Structure 1
Amino acid sequence: MKQSLEFLGFIALVQGALGLVHEFTDWHIGLVQRLGFLDGYGVYASVALVVLAFAMFAVAESRGSG
């Protein structure tokens, strides 16, 4: 469970960072800009993904090795 939370947290962190890079540099990378319902809310969605990633890391760390 801990490894899956860490993996999902890593994916969320990477996608959030790539979404922020896309919003500020117009590079066409990441998943956030490809989702039509997030049009105009890319920065908020990317920040939410980064926060979600840190929350997943915290939960994984509190679970311990089990």
Structure 2
Amino acid sequence: MRRIFEVAGVLLMVWGAGGLIHEWAGWFHAWGVVHKLGWFEGYEVYANIVLAVAGLVLVVASERAGGAGRAGHGDADAQRTDRAGDAGGTGGTGGTGGTGVR
């Protein structure tokens, strides 16, 4: 599901950027979506900016919700386990300084 939101976000960014280039330079006639609709007559630049920003927000939100959030929790759990292992392992080493050598 995350991949679908990423692809949709990238498409929105490309359409928004292509629309801006179309409005400012006259290129990318096929990439612009807003100028084909007609609803945004006179507001094409603003609509393309909103489209590109919405795509960026969608990509960032899907990255945070999917990958980074889970990895962050896993790292915190691993750190807790390491700390618990260090505390228990250094006490029974017989004075070796926590190296684990007996």
Letter in 1 for 2:26: D
Q: Identity, % of aligned pairs?
A: 38
2:53 paired with 1:57: no
Residue number in structure 2 paired with 1:48: 50
Which ranges of structure 1 fall in alignment gaps of 5 or more residues?
Answer: none
Number of residue pairs the alignment of both structures matches:
66
Which structure's CA Rg is the greater one?
A: 2
Counting only pairs closer than 5 Å after superposition, residues 1-66 of structure 1 correspond to structure 2 as 1-27=1-27, 28-29=29-30, 30-65=32-67
Residue-by-residue CA offset, 1:14-66 (whole Å, 9 max, x unaligned): 10011101110123231111011111111001100111011101110122259
Gaps of 5+ in 2: 71-102
TM-score after normalising by structure 1: 0.88
The DSSP-based 3-state class of the residue aligned with 1:40 is coil
Identify the structure with the greater helix proportion. 1
- Runs of 4 or more, structure 1, over 2 Å off, are none
Instruction: Give the letter for the 2:48 counterpart.
Output: S
Taking only aligned residues, the RMSD between alpha carbons, in angstroms, comes to 1.5
Distance in 2, Cα, partners of 1:54 & 1:18: 14
